[in-house]
Structures are given as structure tokens and as C-alpha cells.
Chains A and B, each alone.
Chain A
Amino acid sequence: GQNIDQPTEMTATEGAIVQINCTYQTSGFNGLFWYQQHAGEAPTFLSYNVLDGLEEKGRFSSFLSRSKGYSYLLLKELQMKDSASYLCAVRGGFSGGYNKLIFGAGTRLAVHP
């Protein structure tokens, strides 16, 4: 079956760096996504990895190791507005659709002053 694991909650200090890990076991793989979601709102796209390595985008970076079934999202220079849930999602060749996304449970990040 499909399994995507990430920590339930994390806390960090404003200005610091935080790394949110995600491990996955899926029947197919065609990319891993990170989304940010504020309470009561739809997810917003942060990053996409399909090849191994690091993708950097401003204060956000995402890393993927396909052999290990592992990814992390790195947030630098944390700001209070970064307090949100961060969702790891895998796109795979599951039955029923090529573009299907399977989401992890999300990591609620709280940034403190």
C-alpha cells in the first residue's frame, strides 16, 4: 500500500532554520511535492522534486533521495507567517490515474518569537 510519514508537529524560533522530514513507501513514484497550508485555506505549492538532489527556491529548499524514499523541506530565516501545516505529497502511477497525489498527514509548524 501507500504510506507517507512526516512528523505531526514541530516548533521553531523566528529567524532560525527548520527541516521537515518525509518518508514514503508507494507503489509508484513520479515526483514529490511540498505544499503549505494555512488553517481553513487550500494548499499552496512550494516545491517539486522528481530527481535526486536539492531544489532551492528562496528561503525554501527541498531534497529528495528516491533510493531511500526520503525527502525534506528546509525553511530558512523563519518568519511568523511561516506558521502553517506543511504537506508532503507523492505523485505516482497508482491505479486510476497518472497524476494522482497522495498526501501525508501534514506537519504543523509553530514559529515563536
Chain B
Amino acid sequence: GAVVSQHPSWVICKSGTSVKIECRSLDFQATTMFWYRQFPKQSLMLMATSNEGSKATYEQGVEKDKFLINHASLTLSTLTVTSAHPEDSSFYICSANWAGETYEQYFGPGTRLTVT
């Protein structure tokens, strides 16, 4: 149980276009989902916390107008990278927290974004 999926697993897009990444909890209801970004050989940096039905809370330095997060249901959150640039190329990972779970976050497999 507690499986989180992401789609797509990798994507290549041209500079200036927008890309949507989906994060789904497959067998549980995720009250909170988290979006992280990881550059090569660096650790995970929290971008935003997303609660179902409410606006996401963005970390300092993360542009909310560039990284649009929607948490429309208890099993789906989406991250849209708008007007992508090569410096947005990174590994994007989501995780989900189940209301009944006291501590663990369940991570998705990640999405590799390359902007050319």
C-alpha cells in the first residue's frame, strides 16, 4: 500500500513552453502533497506544500506564478512549470502524506524535466 505515482517520468520541452506534472496517490487519500526539486548531486529542496482544496504554500524563493500547483482532489496534485527555461531543468519529486499516518511521507518516482 501507500503508492504514489508521477506522470510523466521524463519530459523534454522547448524553452518558453509550459509543462504539467501529475502526482497521484494510488491507494490512499492524500491530505497533503509536497513538491520537491532536486538538482544533480544536490539534496531535495521543498518547493511547496499542497493541501486539498486550498492554495499551496510556497517556500521562500519559489515563484508561485511560475510553478502553479493545483490539488483538486485527495488523490491528485499537479505542478505546472510555466514558461520553462533551461535553468528549470531538474528532477521534480512529489510526496504524499496520509491523514491516518503519523509520520511518513510517501514519495513518487520523480519526473526528469529537460528544457532545451
Contact = CB atoms under 8 A, between A and B. Distances in A.
B9 to A, nearest CB: 10
Interface string A6-42: 0000000000000000000000000101000000111
Interface in A75-113: 87, 91, 96-97, 99-106, 108
B43 A97 contact: no
Contacts of B95: 101
Interface residues of A, number: 23
B109 interface: yes
Interface string A51-92: 000000000000000000000000000000000000100010
B110 A99 contact: no
Contact of B43 (A42, A99, A103): A103
B107 A43 contact: yes
A91 B97 CA distance: 13
Contacts of A33: 103
Q: 8 closest A-B pairs (Cβ-Cβ)? A: A42-B107, A96-B57, A97-B49, A103-B43, A105-B43, A103-B44, A106-B43, A42-B110
Interface of A: 31, 33, 40-45, 48, 50, 87, 91, 96-97, 99-106, 108
23 contacts: A40-B91, A40-B112, A41-B109, A42-B93, A42-B108, A42-B110, A43-B107, A48-B104, A50-B103, A91-B103, A97-B32, A97-B57, A99-B49, A99-B97, A100-B34, A100-B49, A101-B105, A102-B46, A103-B43, A103-B45, A105-B42, A105-B43, A106-B43
Given A41-B110, A43-B93, A99-B49, 14 more contacts: A31-B103, A42-B93, A42-B109, A43-B44, A43-B107, A44-B107, A87-B43, A97-B49, A97-B57, A101-B46, A103-B43, A103-B45, A105-B43, A106-B43
